[in-house]
Amino acid sequence: MPYIVQRRTDIPSGTIQILDLWPNVSQKNNAIDPVAQTKYVRYLQNETVTVSANVTLAAYKGLAAYLIDAVAAGVDGHALTATEANTMAASIVTNIVTAGAAATVAGVNVRLAAVNAGTALTAGGSVGTIADVLKILAGGEYVLPAGSAANSGGAFKGALVGAFTAGQYRPTYTSGPLLSSIAEGKLHGYAAATFSYGGTAGGALVVYDDTGAVIS
């Protein structure tokens, strides 16, 4: 299940449209065709999380919300603080998404451990998955409700409280048209360093496989 991720913040979310995938959402036959694949690409959500009295002050969407919900920090496995979650999320955005670098478990763990040594996405008590992270990077909406347990440095709760918004994200599947688009079509053009938007050159997209390896 590839993930199409927008790298640049100077391109408004929903501006980039991938039309050379199949089936086309506006042309598919619902009776016989598989899930539509053409789509507008959304930039990832990453709202700043705030915690007071060991609960979230509001409903938060995006990467930092997922990290504080899913990741146990450090070698002792305590809960992330809001500052740690926000800093980790910002580091993933800057050093992985914007850079177009691999978003593998190992790559994500480097970003987490740089903020709190020993922190890992899928180990040490954490309940995160790389599939969830990639879905968020590709525009999937993860919501952590207001009042969710998020102990600031205390014991990690050990289970997810938040969830993805149903029907908001259209998954992408490996197919001949997808591979052709990456090789020489729309995805190839948008991923190229020579792509220009608003007079600024630079790759707009990166495509990851389901391990987070770059395939574009």
Provide DSSP, 178-207.
Answer: HHHHHHHSHHHHHHSTT-EETTEES--EEE
Q: Mind listing the pLDDT tens digit for each residue in 88-117?
A: 999 999 999 999 999 999 999 999 999 999
User: What is the structure's pLDDT at 168?
Assistant: 95
**How many residues would you count in the chain?**
216
Instruction: Note the pTM of the prediction, 2 decimals.
Output: 0.94
User: What is the structure's pLDDT at 7?
Assistant: 98
Q: How far apart are CA 41 and CA 19, in angstroms?
A: 11
Q: Output the six-digit token pair for 145.
A: 């409700």
Residues in the chain predicted with pLDDT less than 70, given as ranges, are: 25-29, 31-34, 151-153
Q: How far apart are CA 206 and CA 176, in angstroms?
A: 18
